[in-house]
C-alpha cells in the first residue's frame, strides 16, 4: 500500500468543500451568511499588488480576514473562520505557524473558528477566542452545541454524512496496482 502525500491543490479543494458545507449548514439552520474572507476580496487587491505589503499590519489584518459574517436569528453578527484539518487537533510540525495564524485571527477579528475534520466525529467543531488552553491545545466543542446559531439536527447529520462520503475516503491508503 502507498499513501500519497496531499498536495496544495488538494488541500485548497478540501478547504473550499469545508467552507461550503459550513455555509450551507448555517444557512439551512436559519442564519444569514455572507462570504467575507481574504479570497472574496483578494481580486480587488491584485491591482494594489506592487504597493501592497502583505506583511505590514494592514497586510496581516487583510490576510487574517475571516471567511464569513454570520447573522443569527436575533440579528447578532459573528465573524467565522473555517479550517479544514484531517484531525481535530493542531498538526505537530505546523503548530507554531498555525498558532500564529490563530493569534492574528483573534487579535484582528475575534472570530469564532469552525474546524472541519475527517478523522473522527463530530466532524464539525467550534472554538471561541482565544481558541487554545495554556498548553496550546485547541479548546473545541461540537458545532451542534452552538446555541446562538440553533443548528438544525437533520441538516447537521446530512453534512456529517457528506464529510464522511467525500472527505474521509481520502485517508484510506490506495492499493498499488499490479
| Residue that wins the pLDDT comparison between 126 and 168 | 126
pLDDT of residue 110 exceeding 80? yes
pLDDT of residue 176 exceeding 80? no
Q: E strands of 16-173, at which residues?
A: 32-35, 68-71, 77-85, 112-117, 124-127, 141-142
Lowest mean pLDDT among 54-63, 71-80, 145-154: 54-63
Q: At what angle do helices 8-28 and 153-162 cross, to 10 degrees?
A: 170
Which of 80, 62, 63 lies closest to 71 in space, CA to CA?
Answer: 80
Mean pLDDT of the chain: 85
Q: Residue 2: what pLDDT?
A: 38
Q: Residue 3: what pLDDT?
A: 40
pLDDT of residue 58 exceeding 60? yes
pLDDT band at 160 (very low <50, low <70, confident <90, very high): very high
Q: Residue 109: what pLDDT?
A: 95
| Residue that wins the pLDDT comparison between 89 and 173 | 89
Answer for the pair 77, 68: CB distance below 8 angstroms, yes or no: no
Lowest mean pLDDT among 35-39, 62-66, 139-143: 35-39
pLDDT band at 161 (very low <50, low <70, confident <90, very high): very high
pLDDT of residue 174 exceeding 90? no
pLDDT band at 5 (very low <50, low <70, confident <90, very high): low
3-state class (DSSP) for residue 54:
coil
Amino acid at each position: 500500500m502507498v499513501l500519497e502525500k496531499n498536495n496544495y491543490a488538494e488541500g485548497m479543494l478540501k478547504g473550499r468543500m469545508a467552507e461550503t458545507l459550513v455555509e450551507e449548514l448555517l444557512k439551512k439552520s436559519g442564519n444569514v451568511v455572507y462570504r467575507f474572507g481574504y479570497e472574496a476580496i483578494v481580486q480587488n487587491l491584485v491591482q494594489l499588488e506592487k504597493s501592497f505589503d502583505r506583511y505590514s499590519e494592514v497586510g496581516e489584518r487583510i490576510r487574517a480576514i475571516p471567511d464569513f459574517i454570520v447573522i443569527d436569528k436575533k440579528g447578532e453578527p459573528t465573524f467565522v473562520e473555517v479550517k479544514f484539518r484531517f484531525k481535530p487537533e493542531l498538526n505537530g510540525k505546523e503548530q507554531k505557524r498555525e498558532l500564529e495564524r490563530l493569534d492574528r485571527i483573534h487579535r484582528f477579528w475575534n472570530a469564532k473558528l469552525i474546524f472541519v475534520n475527517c478523522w473522527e466525529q463530530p466532524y464539525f467543531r467550534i472554538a471561541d477566542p482565544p481558541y487554545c488552553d495554556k498548553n496550546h491545545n485547541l479548546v473545541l466543542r461540537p458545532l451542534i452545541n452552538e446555541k446562538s446559531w440553533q443548528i438544525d439536527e437533520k441538516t447537521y447529520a446530512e453534512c456529517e454524512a457528506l464529510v464522511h462520503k467525500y472527505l474521509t475516503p481520502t485517508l484510506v491508503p490506495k492499493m498499488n496496482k499490479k
